[in-house]
């Protein structure tokens, strides 16, 4: 009888440890900023899918060949401006959701990772503009006790060309904001970031190409993730920081894991392919102790922002939503 009691106690402790480990995962959704004010009901469904975090994204804009960073402008959507950002933070907190505030510069006609300038003077002006933008939202993050602040998103050539910029900017951020910090590196530029030691999470926008098949099986995708997992584990151990997928996601189309970052709707709709991709993601990563979780791309708070919903990244009202609900739980 004593052995049976000891065995039961061991099982209870083991289950508790596994349960705590699961609870610590960041089960996050990247929110699409609404164009107009919203009320608390807009996040009800996030609770139904068992999300415990949201990413709120106050976009800024840099025109081509410009040193300007425009943000909090009247022409922007309500949710992208300071007023909307603050309100979305408050709504999320009322719903018991933790928050990553994720400033993201949008570059007209080009991917922001390819943004670059020609002269030191141009770079200095842009860096002043970007610093103003980031520190503005660092103050909001501190004011509302936001749990996590992302200091940049996919600024690949900025990091390569101006490595000292972030080394100087991060201490300025830390003087204002006392929460956790990350940076969202594109999937193919993780190793080029020289300042991971100054942050709390190694952030990855995880659009890794996985398969050229039309609708790869979960097993095929699990196999494709294996070498990527090994690389990410090495990076995590190297820097002694957990890996966080600051973005991940899959379109609901054929070939959605070939160019995982998007196909602009050119392939036929396929919700099963999207569900398979999400299932593989959870099976591949959620048991790994070095993996902190992530924020799927993306979740619409209002129907007005939905474009081509049958093929888009959102899992809302698709097979993938049930997959997310299951694994988030």
Tell me the pLDDT of the chain (329 aa) as tens digits: 444 444 444 444 344 344 444 458 999 999 999 999 999 999 999 999 999 999 999 999 998 888 999 999 999 999 999 999 999 999 999 999 999 999 999 987 789 999 999 999 999 999 999 999 999 999 999 999 999 999 999 999 999 999 899 999 999 999 999 999 999 999 999 999 999 999 999 999 999 999 999 999 999 999 999 999 999 999 999 999 999 999 999 999 999 999 999 988 899 999 999 999 999 999 999 999 999 999 999 999 998 888 878 899 999 999 999 999 999 99
Task: Decide if 295 contacts 250 (C-beta within 8 A).
Answer: no
**Is 16 a member of any domain?**
no
pLDDT at 182: 98
Nearest to 122 by CA among 59, 185, 62: 62
pLDDT of 305 reads 87
Is the entire prediction scored with pTM above 0.85? Answer: yes
Rounded to whole angstroms, the Cα distance separating 32 from 49 reads: 17
Q: From the CB of residue 215, how many other CB atoms can be counted at a distance below 10 Å? A: 17
Question: What is the count of structural domains for the chain?
Answer: 1
**Does the residue 84 lie in any domain?**
yes
pLDDT of 141: 98
In-domain check, residue 15: no
Structural contact between residues 206 and 221, judged by C-beta atoms closer than 8 angstroms: no
Inside any domain, residue 147: yes
Q: Is 42 helix (H, G, I), strand (E, B) or coil?
A: helix
- CATH number for position 256: 3.20.20.80
Domain hosting residue 274, numbered range: 25-328
8 Å CB contact between 276 and 217: yes
In a domain, 4, yes or no: no
């Amino acid at each position: 009888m004593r052995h049976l009691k000891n065995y039961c106690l061991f099982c209870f402790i083991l289950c508790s440890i596994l349960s705590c480990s699961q609870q610590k995962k960041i089960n996050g959704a990247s929110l699409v900023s609404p164009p107009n004010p919203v009320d608390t009901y807009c996040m009800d469904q996030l609770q139904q899918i068992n999300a415990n975090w949201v990413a709120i994204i106050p976009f800024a804009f840099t025109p081509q060949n410009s040193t300007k960073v425009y943000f909090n402008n009247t022409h922007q959507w309500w949710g992208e401006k300071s007023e909307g950002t603050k309100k979305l933070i408050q709504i999320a907190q009322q719903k018991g959701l933790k928050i990553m505030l994720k400033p993201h510069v949008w570059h007209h006609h080009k991917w922001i990772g390819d943004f670059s300038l020609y002269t030191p003077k141009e770079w200095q002006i842009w860096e002043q503009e970007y610093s103003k933008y980031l520190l503005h939202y660092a103050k909001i993050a501190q004011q509302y006790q936001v749990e996590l602040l992302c200091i940049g998103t996919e600024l690949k050539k900025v990091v390569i060309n101006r490595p000292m910029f972030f080394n100087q900017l991060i201490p300025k951020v830390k003087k204002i904001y006392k929460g956790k910090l990350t940076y969202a590196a594109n999937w193919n530029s993780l190793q080029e970031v020289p300042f991971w030691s100054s942050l709390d999470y190694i952030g990855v926008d995880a659009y890794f190409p996985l398969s050229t098949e039309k609708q790869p099986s979960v097993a095929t995708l699990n196999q494709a993730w294996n070498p990527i997992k090994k690389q990410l584990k090495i990076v995590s151990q190297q820097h002694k920081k957990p890996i966080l997928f600051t973005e991940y996601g899959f379109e609901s189309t054929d070939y959605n894991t070939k160019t995982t970052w998007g196909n602009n709707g050119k392939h036929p709709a396929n919700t099963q392919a999207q569900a398979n991709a999400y299932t593989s993601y959870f099976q591949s990563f959620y048991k790994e102790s070095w993996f902190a979780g992530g924020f799927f791309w993306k979740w619409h708070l209002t129907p007005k922002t939905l474009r081509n919903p049958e093929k888009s990244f959102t899992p809302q009202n698709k097979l993938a939503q049930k997959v997310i609900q299951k694994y988030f739980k």
